[in-house]
Amino acid sequence: MLKRLVSRVIIFIFWLLHFLPLPLLALLGHGLGMLLFFVGSRRRKIALINLAWCFPELDEGARSELVKAHFRALGRSILERSILWWGSRERLSRLIRVDGEEKIYALLEAGRPIILLAPHFVGLDAGGIGIALRVDAVSMYSTQKNLIFNRLMLRGRQRFGEQLLLSRQDGPRASIKAMKKGRPFYYLPDMDLGRRDSVFVDFFGVQTATITGLSRLAKAAGAAVVPCLTRVLPGGEGYVVEIGDTWSDFPTADVEGDTQRMNAFIEEAVRTMPEQYYWVHRRFKTRPEGEAQPY
C-alpha cells in the first residue's frame, strides 16, 4: 500500500513538472543528473569503465568531465519525460523537429517495410514521440517491475495515433508482421543482451557482444534500414530527430559484417554527441570466452 502511494506521489510531481517551460526543466534536469552522479556510485562506475574502454586517448580528468556531462543529459531525459507523457500535441510538435521525415513517407508510399535504426541516446523517447506524431509505428518495450509506472510508460508511448508496443516475449514475427502492414519499426538494437543471437564485433576497438537482429529482421521483412538519431539540443531548445538515407546493399549474406556495419555507424554517431550516449548500461558485460567482464 505504501509503495503504491509513493508511486502515485512521484507521478503527481512528474505531472506538475510538465507545466514548466523546457529551459527551466532542463536546468532542473541538470541538477538531478549531478545528484545522481554523486549518489549513484554503481552507475557512475559503469559509465567511467565504458568511457575508459571507448576513449582510452582521454585522460582521467577528461573522462570524468564527460561522465558528468552524461549524467546531466540523463537527468534532463528523466524529467523531460513529463512533457513527453503529458504535453499537448501542439507543444510537442514545437519541441521535437524531425529532419528528413519525407524519406519515411516515400518508403511507405512505395509499400516498403521500414526499420528505423535508433541507437540508445538519451533523447530516444523524444524521438519515439516525434515519430508517433507523424506515423503509426511499432516498437518494443521492457516491462517495468512497478505496475503503476509500467502503465504510465505504456500510456505515454501510445498517446498519439495507434502505436503498437511489443514486449521482447512477443518475438520477431510480430514485428515483421507489423512492418509488412506499413508500420515503421522503431528499433534499438545496441544493448548487451547476452550471447544468444549475438556475435562479437568491433565497437570503439572493443570486441562487443551485439545482437544480429537488424540484419535478420531486414532480410525477413524485406525492410529498408533507415538511421534515426535523436539529439537533445542545448539550453532547453528541444530535440531534433535526424532521419538518414536508406542503407544501400543491406542486408547482405554476411550477418556478422552487417552487424559490424551497424556498430560502426553507431560509433560514428556517438563521437558527434558522446555525452548523450547511454553510458550507464553495461555494454561490455558479455565477454569472449576466457575474458573477464570489466564491471
In a domain? residue 210? yes
Residue 190 confidence (pLDDT)? 94
Digitized pLDDT (tens) for each residue of the chain, 295 residues in all? 777 777 788 889 989 999 999 999 999 999 999 999 999 999 999 999 999 999 999 999 999 999 999 999 999 999 999 999 999 999 999 999 999 999 999 999 999 999 999 999 999 999 999 999 999 999 988 777 777 777 888 888 889 999 999 987 778 899 999 999 999 999 999 999 999 889 999 999 999 999 999 999 999 999 999 999 999 999 889 999 999 999 999 999 999 999 999 999 999 999 999 999 999 999 999 999 989 999 9
DSSP tag of 247:
P
Torsion of CA 262, 263, 265, 268, to 10 degrees: 180
In a domain? residue 261? yes
In a domain? residue 164? yes
User: Could you tell me the CA-to-CA distances from 196 to 48, 248, 281, 284, 286 in Å, in that order?
Assistant: 27, 27, 18, 15, 11
Residue 204 confidence (pLDDT)? 98
In a domain? residue 28? no
In a domain? residue 11? no
In a domain? residue 144? yes
For 279, the grid coordinates are 553510458
User: Could you tell me the CA-to-CA distances from 128 to 141, 201, 207, 270, 273 in Å, in that order?
Assistant: 12, 27, 29, 19, 19
Residue 109 confidence (pLDDT)? 96
Q: Domain span at residue 208?
A: 96-276
Torsion of CA 215, 267, 70, 133, to 10 degrees: -50
User: Could you tell me the CA-to-CA distances from 97 to 100, 109, 203 in Å, in that order?
Assistant: 10, 22, 29
Residue 116 confidence (pLDDT)? 98
Task: Report angle CA 166, 221, 229 to the nearest 5 degrees.
Answer: 65
In a domain? residue 49? no
Task: List Cβ neighbours of 212 (8 Å cut-off, separation of 6 or more).
Answer: 197, 198, 199, 255, 256, 258, 259
In a domain? residue 10? no
Counting the structural domains of the chain, the total is 1
